[in-house]
Amino acid sequence: MAISEQDVMRIARLARIELSPEETAQTQKELNDILGLMARLQAVDTQGVEPMAHPLSAHQDIQLRLRDDVAAPTLTESERAELMANAPAQAEGLFLVPTVIE
């Protein structure tokens, strides 16, 4: 599937960017090159190939350095006030965020 000049102009309008005619042609070529690369990647037979968790895991025994996600206590009230200074909304030392799920 090739990207047309109209597609590029529509994408640019949606992204709120202005492209000159030369930039439109260059962007069209680059997007079509990307789509061509994606088509080549999808054509590769990966049947029986086990997915890798890390790109180097095929060459090395990679151990991911993960740590426990543990909350660290705030040591002093002044530290807490300094951390909360950038919060757009807060109450009783907690960040207030808009309700996402009703």
CA of residue 95 relative to chain centroid, distance: 24
Furthest C-alpha separation in the chain: 60
Residue 58 has pLDDT above 70, yes or no: no
60 or 9: whose pLDDT is higher? 9
Residue 31: predicted pLDDT:
96
Residue 11: predicted pLDDT:
95
Q: State the Cα–Cα distance between residues 46 and 12, nearest whole angstrom.
A: 35
Residue 42 has pLDDT above 70, yes or no: yes
What percent of the chain stands above pLDDT 70? Answer: 89
Domains of the chain: 5-43 (1.10.20)
To the nearest 10°, report the CA torsion of 12, 18, 23, 29.
0
Residue 100: predicted pLDDT:
85
Residue 101: predicted pLDDT:
84
Which pLDDT tens digit goes with each residue over 5-41? 999 999 999 999 999 999 999 999 999 999 999 999 9
Residue 5: predicted pLDDT:
95
